[in-house]
Structure 1
Amino acid sequence: MPLSAIRSKHRFVQEYPINASPKILYPYLASASGLRQWFCQDVIMLNQHTFDFVWDNQHHLAELTSQRTNRSVRYVFLTPDRGHMPDANYLDFMIESSELTQEIYLRIVDYSEETDDIELQEMWDNLVQNLRELVGG
């Protein structure tokens, strides 16, 4: 494969204060029904660990590779035949709290080919605003 065909990846990290408890927030991050409400057009749970995320009528398979109840989830994107790829795109959602202020934060890591930080910032700001409206925070 020529070097020009290898797309470089970009790690976008952002934290958002969320005025909701981890118990309320977590189902919106870790379940198809919760994600469907704020994150994308549709989410279909294919089995216990495989999800089909639908954006603009395009299907993107992802595996839930780690989860800690009320703390974090990671979705690693798969090939169309459900295979793993080296240096795969992934999304991390982490619920963190400030010891000092007791505030709850949602930390998002979006690792993908998208390199435009301004576009990513706007996209995540809008998505998290949708999430805040759902959780009351």
Structure 2
Amino acid sequence: MTKASKTKFVREYPINASAKLLFPYLATPGGLAQWFCDDVKVDSDKIYNFLWDGRSHYAELTSYRTNRSVRFLFLNDKKMHTADPAYVDFSIESSELTQEQFLKVIDYNSEEDTQELEELWDNLMQNLREIVGG
């Protein structure tokens, strides 16, 4: 039995919003539910439940740097860690030269169709830009 290999999708999206304005949309359940998924709930064990199309996807917040970056590590359906887990990483970066803000997205998952991933993230970023005005 071969293990499903994962794809690491990395993109930087220019975004016209301050880190302070943008960060809550990346790090809070209410913010994420506005553009990233249908809903987010956090249980008493601090396990995030991302809902897409009525299906639960459990994740743990494994990295949190205020107004800089967050990483969500996905767990299995029993909320347990797996070998080579999928994750999504958001980091806010700015260009010293142009003063432009970028949202860097790293999506490490088992989706092999990079075209589909690109379309998905382009749409998600469009949603986010409409919310933050960027």
Q: What TM-score does the superposition give when structure 2 sets the normalisation length?
A: 0.97
4+ runs deviating over 4 angstroms: none
> Helix, strand or coil: the match of 2:5?
coil
Any gaps of 5 or more consecutive residues in structure 2? none
8 Å CA contact 1:12–1:110 kept in 2: the answer is yes
- Percent identity at matched positions? 57
Aligned pair partner of 2:30 in 29, 33, 41:
33
For 1:44, the equivalent position in structure 2 comes to 41
For 1:10, the equivalent position in structure 2 comes to 7
Aligned pair partner of 2:130 in 101, 116, 133:
133
Shift of 1:21: 0.1
For 1:113, the equivalent position in structure 2 comes to 110
Cα distance between partner residues in 2 of 1:14 and 1:59: 25
> Helix, strand or coil: the match of 1:29?
helix
For 1:75, the equivalent position in structure 2 comes to 72
> Helix, strand or coil: the match of 2:70?
strand
Q: What TM-score does the superposition give when structure 1 sets the normalisation length?
A: 0.95
Shift of 1:50: 1.6
Cα distance between partner residues in 2 of 1:67 and 1:60: 19
Shift of 1:117: 1.1
Cα distance between partner residues in 2 of 1:92 and 1:136: 22
Give the direction of change, closer, same or farther, for the CA distance of 1:48–1:105 in structure 2 (3 Å limit): farther
Shift of 1:49: 3.4
> Which runs of structure 2 are paired with 1:79-94 in the superposition (5 Å)?
79-94=76-91
Cα distance between partner residues in 2 of 1:100 and 1:48: 42
Cα distance between partner residues in 2 of 1:72 and 1:43: 18
| 1:55 correspondence with 2:52 | yes
Shift of 1:48: 6.6
